[in-house]
Chains A and B, each alone.
Chain A
Amino acid sequence: MAIRKFQNASGFFIRLLLFGLTVFLSQVASADAAPAGKVSAKRLVTENGMTVVLQEAHSLPVVNIQMIIKAGAVLDPEEKAGLAHLTASLLDEGTATRSSIQIADAIDFIGAELSTRGGDDYASASLRVLKKDLAAGLDLLSDILTRPSFPEPELQRIRQEILGQLIAEKDEPSTVADKAFNQIVFGAHPYHRPTEGTEQTLPTIARADVARFYDQHYRPNNTIMTIVGDITESETVDFLKTYFGSWPQKLIPTATFPPAAGLEKPTVKLIDKDLTQANMILGHLGIDRRNPDYYAVTVMNYILGGGGFASRLMTNLRDNQGLAYSINSHFQAGAFPGSFSVSLQTRNAAAQQAIDGVLAELRKIRTLPVTDRELGETQAYLIGSFPLRMDTSAKIAGLLAQIEYYNLGLDYAERYPKLIGSVTKTDIRRVAQKYLDPDHLALVVVAKQDEAKIREN
């Protein structure tokens, strides 16, 4: 029930696809039937420029659809932060022919799940529907994506809800910490803003802003659709024509962004709240998803603090010192360099001890090689767990959307073992030295500060 900021770890790029008008679909790539658990998807591009990836899965009478529209919060004007998120939130609140109530009634009556979300790099929409109700589900999905009407009363209501959620979030220490952290780390880059906007920017957004943002960015040639489920290629071709064929493509405006400059000196922000625990996040700028070092960084971060119970941070701070329940490190790698961060909570009085413990681990992985065992076990986990990332249709749909968004290729699952397996101990030390900088950290601590007693230098 807690209302949380939607964070994604994906990217943004702009490209206009123009394909011939003679055939509605052009099949660009297709992997032949692969063994169960492998990606055996087909990629199509519609006449109006929508990229579609289909994987048939007939074991259940269910169809999952995931859509990515390159219309994320990075595109918001600074003074109208929250525009992209508000636009996505309003898609299912009224169309040319249906009211908000009619949409909700229709989708619930067939027991389907339809949702839209605004993220930093892109907006997304998803549909999960029984095969027997596929036509009704697609009718609704296409209606909200291609003909939303953004009724003024619904805009007012949704904006009030988001403003209310911003207030409620102040009771979530980790959200308070994350927002302050992003402000420090990202400088002028749009990632510094909360996806859903602020109490200052939201009231300035008018219906005309939403309509314009929609008109510019919600276009088939700016959209990826993945379909996984009980549906054939020819059925897919038919429904694309019927439901998305008349969605007009349009040239997408290009956008440029100020870069996020690194921190020149360590920055500490202390936020006082009446809490029993200090909630801490520390880190700095990281990498984007297209960075060639992405896989070496993935392996390095798993060893440091990404690898659940196997990680060094978990072992040393939780298992050996009992300092935290949850501790992890994370590279948020999207279209632009995201953050590298370590998050943890401990009782107020142990806050400095925990921070020192994290710093020691950051320094250690930069200076000493990881062991053969650590490297081997990490590679074994990352490679071996790939099938678990594809063990439900909904997960496959999400993975395919990422694969398409980052141009990873439909053979990504087959290439992944090599991408991870070729990382060496030397690579790990190199990327640790390059992408971890314990001397230029941003540190945010939300705590009862007179108990936490954080060193500020």
Chain B
Amino acid sequence: MPSLFYLLLASFLFLPIAPAQARTLQTQTLANGLKVILVEEHKAPVVTIQVWYRAGSRNEVTGKTGLAHLTEHMMFKGTPKYGKGEFSRSIARVGGTENAFTGKDYTAYFENLSADQVGLALNLESDRMTNLLLDTKEFQLEREVVKEERRLRTDDDPQSLVVEHLFATAFLVHPYHAPIIGWMTDLNNLERNDVTAFYKRFYSPNNAILVIVGDIDPKKLLPKIQQTFGKVPKGFPVAPFRIAEPEQTGERRFVIKKEAQLPFVFAGYPVPNFFHPDNYALGVLANILFSGKSSRLYRSLVYEKKLALDIGGDYPNLSANPDLFYIYGVPQPGRTADELEKALYAEIEKLKTEPVTDPELQKAKNQIEAGFIMGQDSNFYRAMQIGIAEAVGAGYAYQESYVENIQKVTKEDLGRAARTYLIEDRRTVGILLPQPRQDKD
């Protein structure tokens, strides 16, 4: 069902496409501006079709947060040709699955289905690219569904509240400030016309990428794409995105007090994205800190010190604009957020002063390379890697050369990146302080 990506809950890894696979990739841009990327993979008679729009929560304005995600939900509510529910039913009827997700920089729609049904997905997706009904009653109902989604994922999850608050604190100007699901008051105030305007502005072939991976013959498929997506009229040009976050010059901190069992510590550091050469070193740093039971945080804080029940973090290299390198932990019962926070920073400081060992660097590179080879097993995953890279402006070529660039990272690069970016004055920290419940069982 339509859902949105949460930073912490993203279940996929940002890993690249194998160079060996690149030979089977074909790309073409239609006259209306739609970029088409096709990858042949014949191991099973199935295919994934993904339509990526360069429109996510960063394209919303103050007071209208949640609009990109609500628009995603409305995309399932019918066109004159395929009425409400007909989209999902048509795909299910041929044994397919379909869904969508909204991110900060993009909204993506997908169908996984039998290769001989690819034409159906092309018909349906090209139709709703331009013919959406946007019925007022449906809008009002769906807004209630999204509010339930917000209650489920955020309002009743104290850790999610911390994450939401952290981005709102770290980003003052840039729209990464707002949660993808939107603030509850904004959800209450959104109107059907807001969706109409957002849809008209961003849902056009010239602002989209069509990615298809699977058991396809591009020679036969391209004419079908022309007959469907090729007929969608070109939309307004989308103005370049110009908002940039001013530099942070001192630590920002906040506390959330909620009924909860255990504290939670979440810290973020502004870092460059794929655009900057340091992104490879930051990727390796994230791997060394977070990946596997041999990672530094797990080994030190969970295994040796028995201080953390859970730790983690990530470096989102594929954000359209510079994002946060983040790190989090839940203390073991009986241990404090303060102890855990200090221990997390101690691990980061170590990266600045002591070079990582050769085997440790090699392990990180091996993990990244193995992860990307294993990722080729899934059509859906491969299409996602291409779609994300294209949607955020990195381009699929970035993915193709990712492992090669990771191999070039040196110990010196890691120390320098840690000293440059993972510093106290650029840090934003959120702490969940559990409150005893107001008992009345």
Q: Do these two chains interact?
A: yes
Which A residues form the contact surface with B (CB < 8 A)?
A: 1, 3, 35-37, 57, 59-62, 100-101, 104-105, 107-113, 128, 130, 157, 160-161, 163-165, 167-168, 170-171, 173, 272-277, 307-310, 314-315, 318-326, 345-347, 377, 380-388, 390-394
From the candidates A173, A310, A384, A394, name the one contacting B88 in the complex (CB within 8 A): A310
- Beyond A1-B312, A107-B292, whether A388 also contacts B97 by CB under 8 A is yes
From the candidates B140, B215, B309, B370, name the one contacting A164 in the complex (CB within 8 A): B309
CA gap between A163 and B333 in the complex, in Å: 9
Smallest CB separation, A168 vs chain B (Å): 6
CA gap between A380 and B93 in the complex, in Å: 5
Smallest CB separation, B267 vs chain A (Å): 15
CA gap between A165 and B114 in the complex, in Å: 41
Which chain A positions have C-beta within 8 A of B42?
Answer: 36
CA gap between A3 and B261 in the complex, in Å: 13
Which chain A positions have C-beta within 8 A of B217?
Answer: none
Which segment, of B141-149, B166-174, B218-226, B275-283, faces chain A?
Answer: B141-149
- B332: Cβ under 8 A from any A Cβ: yes
- Beyond A105-B294, A345-B148, A347-B148, whether A377 also contacts B89 by CB under 8 A is yes
CB distance A108 to B148 under 8 Å?
no
CA gap between A345 and B156 in the complex, in Å: 11
Smallest CB separation, B390 vs chain A (Å): 23
- B405: Cβ under 8 A from any A Cβ: no
- Beyond A170-B261, A322-B141, A345-B151, whether A130 also contacts B1 by CB under 8 A is no
Smallest CB separation, B10 vs chain A (Å): 11
CB distance B145 to A318 under 8 Å?
yes
Which chain B positions have C-beta within 8 A of A36?
Answer: 42-45, 215
Smallest CB separation, A268 vs chain B (Å): 15
Which chain B positions have C-beta within 8 A of A318?
Answer: 145
Smallest CB separation, B43 vs chain A (Å): 5
CA gap between A323 and B114 in the complex, in Å: 33
Closest to A100 in B: B303
Smallest CB separation, A141 vs chain B (Å): 15
8 A/B residue pairs, CB under 8 Å, sorted by A: A171-B157, A309-B76, A310-B88, A315-B85, A318-B145, A322-B142, A347-B147, A387-B46
Most B CB contacts (10 A, CB to CB) among A36, A37, A315, A385 go to A385
CB distance A109 to B95 under 8 Å?
no
Interface of B is mostly: mixed
- B243: Cβ under 8 A from any A Cβ: no
Most B CB contacts (10 A, CB to CB) among A113, A272, A390, A392 go to A392
- Contact flags B54-92 to A (C-beta < 8 A → 1, else 0): 000000000000000000000010000000110011001
Smallest CB separation, B339 vs chain A (Å): 15
The total of Cβ contacts below 8 Å across the A-B interface reads 204
Smallest CB separation, B429 vs chain A (Å): 17
- Beyond A104-B294, A391-B46, whether A384 also contacts B94 by CB under 8 A is yes
Which B residues form the contact surface with A (CB < 8 A)?
A: 1, 8-9, 41-46, 76, 84-85, 88-89, 92-97, 112-114, 140-149, 151-152, 155-159, 215, 259-262, 291-295, 299, 302-303, 306, 309-310, 312, 328, 330, 332-333, 359, 362-363, 366-371, 373-374, 376-379, 437-438, 440-441
Question: Other CB < 8 Å A-B pairs besides A104-B294, A276-B151, 14 of them?
Answer: A1-B9, A59-B43, A109-B294, A130-B373, A130-B374, A161-B309, A167-B333, A168-B330, A277-B155, A308-B1, A309-B92, A322-B144, A381-B92, A385-B95
CB distance A37 to B44 under 8 Å?
yes
Which chain A positions have C-beta within 8 A of B332?
Answer: 160-161, 164
CA gap between A318 and B1 in the complex, in Å: 11
Closest to B311 in A: A1
- Beyond A168-B262, A277-B152, A392-B378, whether A326 also contacts B370 by CB under 8 A is no
Smallest CB separation, B166 vs chain A (Å): 15
CA gap between A101 and B96 in the complex, in Å: 44
From the candidates A59, A112, A277, A377, name the one contacting B148 in the complex (CB within 8 A): A277
CB distance B292 to A345 under 8 Å?
no
CA gap between A173 and B95 in the complex, in Å: 33
